[in-house]
Structure 1
Amino acid sequence: MLEIKRATQKDAQVAFDIRRLAIRGQCIGAYTAEQMALWTRGTAEDGYSALMEKPFYLGWVKGRPVVTGMLDLANNEVGALFVLPAFTGRGYGKAMLDHLERMARELAIEEVVLDATLNAASFYRACGYVGEAQAMYHSPSGLALACGPMVKRLAAI
C-alpha cells in the first residue's frame, strides 16, 4: 500500500536520489549517457532542495520512499514524477499522479501541464494527457533535453 506524504526539507536528498536512480534506470535509449550523467550530477543542495517548498510529495511503501511528485501551483504544472526502478510497473507512479491531479482539482485548477520525458510520454497519454509536439526543456543547470509538452483538462470534483 502506498502512503503519500508531503515532503520536507529533510527529504530533499532522498527525493533527489529517487530522481537520479529513476533517470539513470528508465531513460536509457531516450537520452544519451552523457545527457543522463549531466542531468543527474550534484546533490539536492545544488537547487533541487528548493522544490521542497512547493507541494512536493513522497510515496512510501513499508517505510521506504519509492516515488516522488510535485504540483507547481505557479504554473499549474505536474512535475518531478519519478519512481525507483525496482518499484516501476506496480502503479505507484499512477497513484502519485492521481494524488497530484486530485490536489489540483481541490484547488479549482481546471487544466494541468507537464513536460514528459521521451520515455514517459506513453505513460502520460495512457493517463489522459495530450500533446504530440516535441520541445526542448532547459534545466536550471543549463542542460537542454528533448521533451513532450502535454496537457490534461481536469474534471470538476
Structure 2
Amino acid sequence: MFINFLTWVLLLPKIHGIVSLLPGWIIKSLKPAKSIDSKHFQVPKGLAAIELVGGRETAIAQIIRTIPNKLYKLSFTIGDAKNGCHGSMMVEAFVAKETLKVKYESIGKGGFKTASFEFEAISNRTRVTFYSAFYHTKLNDYGHFCGPVLDDVKVFPVHH
C-alpha cells in the first residue's frame, strides 16, 4: 500500500473522509480497520489483508451487483496475523438474508482457515458485510487492540 512507510495503516471510517483507503470497500463503523502487509505479518494470500481490530465497532462492507433470485457463493479466509493476538476469534459475515459466524482459535502464532456459504440475491445490489464479534488484545500487551485477519473475499455465481 505505501512502500517503505509503515508495517500497517489504520483505515478510518467513511465519516472521516470521502474516499476509502480500501478501494471498493466501505469502512462502516465507529472504529478504524487496520491494513497489514505480508512482509511484517502473516497474511493468508497476497501482499496485504485487513485486521478487524475494534470488535463489533469495526465493520467493512461492499455493495456488489447481483441478479435477484440467483444463487451465489461467498468465500473468505480468516486467521491471525502472527502478532501475538490471542483468544477465541469470530468473524461474522452478512449477505442478503444470510449470516455466517466463523470461529478461529488463535494462539497468536499465525494460521488461518477458509469459510464459505451460499446465498440467494434479493435485489440488483447486495451488501456484503464483515465484522469481528469480540475485542482482542495481544498476549503480552493488554493495552494493544488487535483482531482477526480477513482476506481473500470472493463472491461468484453458483451453477447447478
Tell me which interval the TM-score lies in, with the shorter structure as reference length.
0.3 to 0.5
Q: Which has the larger radius of gyration?
A: 2
**Structure with the higher fraction of residues in helix conformation:** 1
- Given the two structures, how large is their TM-score scaled by the length of structure 1? 0.33
- Given the two structures, how large is their TM-score scaled by the length of structure 2? 0.32
